[in-house]
Each structure stands twice: as structure tokens, then as C-alpha cells.
Amino acid sequence: MVDCIIIGSGFAGISAALTLQANGKSFQIFGTKNLSSKIEKAERIHNYPALADISGKDLCAALSSQLEKANIEITQERVSGVYELKEKFGVATQEGSYYESKTVIFACGVESVKQIDGETDFVGRGVSYCATCDGFLYKNKTIAVLCTTKRLEHEIAHLAHFAAKIYLIPMYKNVEVDFSNVEILQKMPAKIVGEKRVEKLSFVDKTSENGVKELPVDGVFVLRESIAPSILMNGLQTDGAHIEVSRNTETNIKGCFAAGDITGRPYQYAKAAGEGNVAAHAVTAYLSALKAVTV
Amino acid sequence: MVDCIIIGSGFAGISAALTLQANGKSFQIFGTKNLSSKIEKAERIHNYPALADISGKDLCAALSSQLEKANIEITQERVSGVYELKEKFGVATQEGSYYESKTVIFACGVESVKQIDGETDFVGRGVSYCATCDGFLYKNKTIAVLCTTKRLEHEIAHLAHFAAKIYLIPMYKNVEVDFSNVEILQKMPAKIVGEKRVEKLSFVDKTSENGVKELPVDGVFVLRESIAPSILMNGLQTDGAHIEVSRNTETNIKGCFAAGDITGRPYQYAKAAGEGNVAAHAVTAYLSALKAVTV
């Protein structure tokens, strides 16, 4: 079992990893090979101390090479759940693996994609974030799939294999999906509606009598790069899209920390790097205290 | 009047300056040309994101060149006092200048030099931090000078011009002071003693009867690179050597912020850069609110 699992490979996560390594702690960092689509897409960064006017691509390359030199490898799996156990945490991934660690740092960033009205209300009752985990539950059923990025388009194939009918609502350009049972809708739903479970998607429609058009579905898959922490982990205190933390990056759950954009504005690289550093030190202090109690 | 005065040219101060510039705010940054003796002396830094294994000297050079590119000039004066005025601040320097700003960011670092017992009790009553400000007050008197760095050795000449007798206690090697009225003591005092004003310095001395040796003096000059913020500014809430701040870097005084080592551990570059960034954003938000009220 590692000392710490870091969720996210942006500035906060990398900063935490480098400092945990400096502090002699073992860790596993989850993310993507390209590290952060936010950094990658940034045109030029003017205010990151000691790197004048650097492009997002060059910054990503610098971070990648630093990780390589430090022998830090990114685990390229998407976290699907974080579970608080006795003095440790369990982390499950959408790829079907399970890991354990003494502490967790959420450094997963803030997705700029807004949640759909009703989305969180129906998690586990018709709303799913993981095609490979839950796809089989919708055999011969009708589902809607909100896909936020082309990178997750391959998951639609998996769903198309099970479902009778899929309404695909893509939130990106150049859709390349071609299945006879997939119908593409170029309109965002306003709401997910149902009683006990998801029953339909509701759209604004000015041509209809009540201004609303409804689409009956058995389930809704929301395919995002990352899942909101409040959904990943039960009981984690959040304030809207952000995890609430102390100045020391502690969340309300002991042994669980958060750093970077996910803790709130400003959404800046220096701030994220700083918080990742602080989180790594907080983890180190927490582990020392844990050891002192155990011994 | 500038929007912000930044006190300190280490990572926190530079980060704040770069971000204030990005936010279109005017500012003045006080510090030294070599930016930070802490960074300068660092052997290698392993955990600053995007700059793998860099030496302190190279890091300083990178920061200097970034400031030059951004047309940011450091005001090379040492701040001797910060005064809270009506919706603005006054900043006096040991070089005798006076500046005003709408906000202040303390980014002055933490000097690792311990204060002498009794030091803060006698500030303005025999303890001084500024040779050029207060030297003339000790004409024909006996004073002690605690000098923490060779860089401030030149101030001793100024004091030797006025005082009848100087006990110089240097806290560095290779002392190059040669005045007939300056006697060098290679021992740290334990305490500054007096009733209403400074009367003597007390040293531990095992050879004497009561274990103490006392040296009568009229005043004590403590020459440090920077003065503790609690002495610089009346009413600033501190916790030992650190300024107390909110997660947003606000101090207890409105319009006054703090970032970097001065806000507490970890003493790390990434943390300092992060807080400088957050402070700049907090200043920007504060100025907007100020404007909204004024208009």
C-alpha cells in the first residue's frame, strides 16, 4: 500500500508528487499522459515565476521531462470511486482496478462543463459516469449519452453494443460515431427528470405548447474526463464545484487532502503548484502523526 | 499612488508582481537586486514544477530575466515602517523615502535569525533597526550593534561617526570593520535589559558569580536584511514569526495581505509562488470592491 494516491496530473498533482518524492514518501499518481488538457491548450503563460512567457505545450513538455527524470510514472486510469476505510482509502478505476493508500490528494481540477439539472440526484439511479462499469445494465434499453470530449468517444461503441437505442449528445466537434442504433442530437438537455429513477430528458422547445420537449430514456451516461469529487467520494464536503479545504489543504475527511483548481479560484498554475506542495507536506505530517499513534 | 506595494523580492513577491501586472494593476516592489539570498544560496531545487533540478543561482537568473522582460524594476530600499491610513497605506524606507499605495502585500520572507530576548519590548526605547534613521540619537553614547549580514556592514561606519563607543556583535564571518571606537565581541547576548529604556546587554558567563555578565549600553542597533512585520506595522496580527492570514492571504488589516514564508511553513518556493499569485488576485478583488464603494 502506498503512502498517498494523487488524483490528477496537472500542476497541483505533479507538485504534490515531486514533493512527496523529496519527502521520501511512496505514492501513485492518476492522470493522463498528456498531463492536463488545460495546460496543453493554454496559449502563453505570463505569470508563472521563473518561466517567462512559456506556451502551454512547452510547459507540458517541461513537466513531462521533469517527471521522466524523477522516474515518476502516471497511472493512466480514470478514478471511479474513492472509499474511506479504516486509516486507509480504497480507489477504484473505470478500467476495473482497485488500489489502496494511506492518504488521498484530490488534484483533479475543475471541469468547466456545467452539470445538468437533476444529474447528481439520480447518480446510481439511472445516471452513470462509466460506460464499461454500467453499460451491461442497459441491455436492450434506451439511453442518452452526454459525451464531453472526443477522447471518450470510444466508450459509445461499448454502450451501442448493449443498448437498443442511444441518443448521443456530443459536446465537441467532428463527431465520428456510426452505429445504426445511435441518433445524434445537437441540443443540450435542460434537465434529467424522473421519480425514483431516471425517466426522461427534458429539453427547452419554444415550438411546443408548454415550451418543453421530453425524451423518454432508461438511463443517462455522462462521459467526462473526470468525475466530480463529491460524486467520487461520499461525505466529502464541497461548496458547489469546489472541495472545501483548510489553509493546510485538509478536507473534512481525515487523511484526505485537496489542491489546485478543485479547491477554488484563482485557477492559476502557480496557485495549483503551491497547493500541491502544501498538500504533500500536510500528507507527510499526517503520516508521521499516524505512525506515532500506531507505534 | 500605486495600487499595491509589495514588500519582498523572493518567489512570493515576484509571483504577486507578475500577476498584478497580468491583472493590469500598478505596483511597486521593494527588495534587492539579487532578489533573495535564500534562493541564491540554495544548492539544487528538485520540486519546483516545470524546472527540473535547477540550482539556486540559475533560478535567480531565470527570475531576474523574467522581471527584465516584463519591465518590472525592484525598488532597492529597505522598508522601515508601514502605516495604515484612510483607505491607503504609507510606506517609509530606511533610505528616507516615503511612498503610498492602496494595498500592501508582505512577502518579506522569514529571517532565520532569532530575536534577542527583550528586543521587541524596547523598540523605539533604545532598540533600533535603522542606522541612518536613528544614528544621530546616539551622539557620544555607547551602543551595541548586532549585525546579521556582511551586506549591512557599511551602516556601522555611519554609527561609528556618532557614537563614542560601539560594541559590534557580528553574526557573519570575515568582519571588515576598522574604527578606533568599535570593539568586536564574538558572543551573542542573551537578553536586552532595562526599565523604561535599554540599559544593558546581558550575556551568559559561567566564570562570573551569578552566571551573567552585563554590559551597560545606551542603545542597541539590530541590523537585519528585513524587519519583522509585527515591528514594521502596528496592529498586524502575527503568530510568532508568522503573519496570520486567511486562505485568501488576507491579514487582519483590510487591504493588507501576506504571502510566502512569512505566512508559515512549508518554506517552499512553489508554496510561496502560489501564495503570491493568490495575494495578487485578492488585491485585485479588494480594489474592485473599493472602487464599487467609492463610485
Looking at residue A151, its pLDDT comes to 83
Q: Do B276 and A49 touch (CB under 8 A)?
A: yes
The residue of A271, A275, A283, A288 whose CB has the most chain B CBs within 10 angstroms, and thus the best one to mutate to test that interface, is A271
Distances (CA, A) of B42 to A10, A20, B122: 26, 19, 34
ipTM value for the complex: 0.81
Out of B51, B269, B278, closest to residue A266 by CB: B278
Tell me how crowded residue B183 is: count the other CB atoms within 10 A of its CB: 11
Out of A66, A266, A269, closest to residue B52 by CB: A66
pLDDT of B226 over the 90 cut: no
Looking at residue B162, its pLDDT comes to 94
Q: Does A66 touch chain B (CB under 8 A)?
A: yes
Q: Average pLDDT, stretch A13-36?
A: 95
Query: Rounded to the nearest 5°, which phi and psi values hold at A212?
Result: -135, 140
pLDDT of A271 over the 60 cut: yes
d(CA B134, CA A24): 49
Q: Does B24 touch chain A (CB under 8 A)?
A: no
pLDDT of B271 over the 60 cut: yes
Which residue type occupies A21?
Q
pLDDT of A58 over the 80 cut: yes
Q: Average pLDDT, stretch A2-9?
A: 97
Q: Reading across the β-sheet that carries A212-216, which strands appear in turn?
A: A191-194, A198-204, A212-216
Q: Average pLDDT, stretch B148-176?
A: 92
Q: Do A18 and B63 touch (CB under 8 A)?
A: no
- Place B228 in a pLDDT band, splitting at 50, 70 and 90: confident
- Place A38 in a pLDDT band, splitting at 50, 70 and 90: confident
- The DSSP annotation for B9-77 comes to -SHHHHHHHHHHHHTT--EEEE--TT--HHHHH--EE--STTSTTEEHHHHHHHHHHHHHHTT--EE--
pLDDT of A255 over the 60 cut: yes
Q: Does A116 touch chain B (CB under 8 A)?
A: no
Find the Cα–Cα–Cα–Cα dihedral B41, B273, A17, A130, rounded to 10°. -170
pLDDT per residue as tens digits for the range B203-221: 999 888 888 999 999 999 9
How many residues can be counted in chain A? 295
Smallest Cα distance from A239 to chain B, Å:
15
Taking contacts as CB-CB distances below 8 angstroms, the residues of chain B near A59 are: 50
Q: Average pLDDT, stretch B281-291?
A: 93
Taking contacts as CB-CB distances below 8 angstroms, the residues of chain A near B11 are: 49
Q: Average pLDDT, stretch B164-170?
A: 97
Show the cell assigned to A57. 505545450
Taking contacts as CB-CB distances below 8 angstroms, the residues of chain A near B46 are: 18, 21-22, 70
- pTM for the model stands at 0.83
Looking at residue A291, its pLDDT comes to 80
pLDDT of B242 over the 70 cut: yes
d(CA A196, CA B233): 61
- Place A113 in a pLDDT band, splitting at 50, 70 and 90: low
Looking at residue B294, its pLDDT comes to 62
Looking at residue A240, its pLDDT comes to 81
Out of B18, B46, B268, closest to residue A47 by CB: B18
pLDDT of B112 over the 70 cut: no
Query: Rounded to the nearest 5°, which phi and psi values hold at B107?
Result: -135, 45
Which residue type occupies A260?
G
pLDDT per residue as tens digits for the range B24-53: 999 999 999 888 888 888 888 989 999 998
d(CA B37, CA B35): 7
HSE value, Cβ hemisphere, 13 Å, CA-based, for B250: 12
DSSP A241: T
pLDDT over 70, % of chain B: 99
Q: Do A46 and B18 touch (CB under 8 A)?
A: yes
Q: Do B273 and A49 touch (CB under 8 A)?
A: yes
Show the cell assigned to B60. 535567480
pLDDT of B104 over the 70 cut: yes
pLDDT of A165 over the 90 cut: yes
Q: Do A52 and B62 touch (CB under 8 A)?
A: yes
The residue of B11, B277, B283 whose CB has the most chain A CBs within 10 angstroms, and thus the best one to mutate to test that interface, is B277
pLDDT per residue as tens digits for the range A193-229: 999 999 999 999 988 888 899 999 999 999 987 788 8
Find the Cα–Cα–Cα–Cα dihedral A279, A79, B49, B243, rounded to 10°. -20
Smallest Cα distance from A18 to chain B, Å:
5
DSSP A115: P
**Strand B79-85 with B88-93, pairing:** antiparallel
Q: Reading across the β-sheet that carries B212-216, which strands appear in turn?
A: B191-194, B198-204, B212-216
Taking contacts as CB-CB distances below 8 angstroms, the residues of chain B near A53 are: 69
Looking at residue A216, its pLDDT comes to 97
Smallest Cα distance from B52 to chain A, Å:
5
Taking contacts as CB-CB distances below 8 angstroms, the residues of chain A near B245 are: 247
Q: Do A63 and B49 touch (CB under 8 A)?
A: yes
Looking at residue B268, its pLDDT comes to 94
Q: Locate the chain A residue with the closest alpha carbon to B268.
A: A277
- The DSSP annotation for B260-291 comes to SGGG-S---HHHHHHHHHHHHHHHHHHHHHHH
pLDDT per residue as tens digits for the range A13-24: 999 999 999 999
Q: Average pLDDT, stretch A108-135?
A: 85
pLDDT per residue as tens digits for the range A129-138: 888 878 889 9
Q: Does B52 touch chain A (CB under 8 A)?
A: yes
Looking at residue B132, its pLDDT comes to 80
Looking at residue A156, its pLDDT comes to 93
Mean pLDDT of chain B: 93
Taking contacts as CB-CB distances below 8 angstroms, the residues of chain B near A51 are: 50-51, 62, 66
Taking contacts as CB-CB distances below 8 angstroms, the residues of chain A near B246 are: 247
Alpha helical stretches, state H, chain A = 11-22, 37-41, 56-69, 131-134, 154-162, 229-232, 269-294
Q: Locate the chain A residue with the closest alpha carbon to B62.
A: A50
Taking contacts as CB-CB distances below 8 angstroms, the residues of chain B near A19 are: 47, 268, 270
pLDDT of B113 over the 70 cut: no
Show the cell assigned to A273. 503548484
Q: Do B69 and A46 touch (CB under 8 A)?
A: no
pLDDT of B295 over the 60 cut: no
Q: Do A276 and B49 touch (CB under 8 A)?
A: yes
- Place A183 in a pLDDT band, splitting at 50, 70 and 90: very high
